């Protein structure tokens, strides 16, 4: 927890809390918070601090150069596997029974302990497969 919660950090954190399952660019965040007087550089600075605290994950979509950020400091996002669509960018939680099966398989057959809070599986969601 930071020693001092600036107004900018508070507004950014509130915004991210309302979008926990989304991967969002710094530019989109800055645009959304523009009326609150938060600059793009302030968004980047605060995202870097939140990432260092383990509250934000930085990611990229396959084939894209833009960095996206996802807020992790909510109970629903801890210790779950995330599925991210490479077409629309939506992120979903894998049902617990499914990711437990994957974790057990990896532990037993590969002697590999999966860190689900750091793992994102990329693919194409059901909605995008229809198009």
Q: For residue 100, give both structure tokens.
A: 């437990």
How many helical (H) and strand (E) elements, i.e. helices and strands, does the chain have?
A: 5, 6
Measured CA to CA, the distance from residue 106 to residue 52 in angstroms comes to 28
Write out pLDDT tens, residues 52-107.
888 888 887 667 788 888 887 666 666 778 888 888 777 788 888 888 899 999 99
The residue-averaged pLDDT of 30-37 equals 93
Of 40, 21, 17, nearest to 29 by C-alpha is 40
Measured CA to CA, the distance from residue 101 to residue 2 in angstroms comes to 36
Measured CA to CA, the distance from residue 20 to residue 93 in angstroms comes to 11
Q: What pLDDT does residue 44 have?
A: 95
Of 108, 106, 82, 112, nearest to 95 by C-alpha is 82
pTM: 0.63
């Amino acid at each position: 927890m930071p020693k001092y919660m600036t107004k900018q950090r508070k507004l950014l954190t509130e915004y991210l809390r309302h979008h926990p399952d989304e991967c969002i660019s710094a530019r989109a965040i800055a645009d959304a918070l523009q009326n609150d007087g938060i600059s793009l550089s302030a968004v980047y600075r605060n995202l870097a601090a939140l990432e260092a605290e383990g509250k934000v994950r930085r990611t990229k979509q396959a084939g894209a150069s833009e960095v996206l950020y996802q807020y992790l400091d909510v109970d629903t996002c801890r210790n779950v596997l995330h599925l991210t669509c490479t077409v629309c960018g939506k992120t979903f939680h894998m049902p617990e029974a499914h990711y437990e099966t994957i974790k057990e398989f990896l532990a037993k057959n590969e002697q590999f302990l999966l860190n689900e809070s750091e793992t994102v599986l990329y693919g194409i969601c059901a909605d995008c497969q229809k198009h």
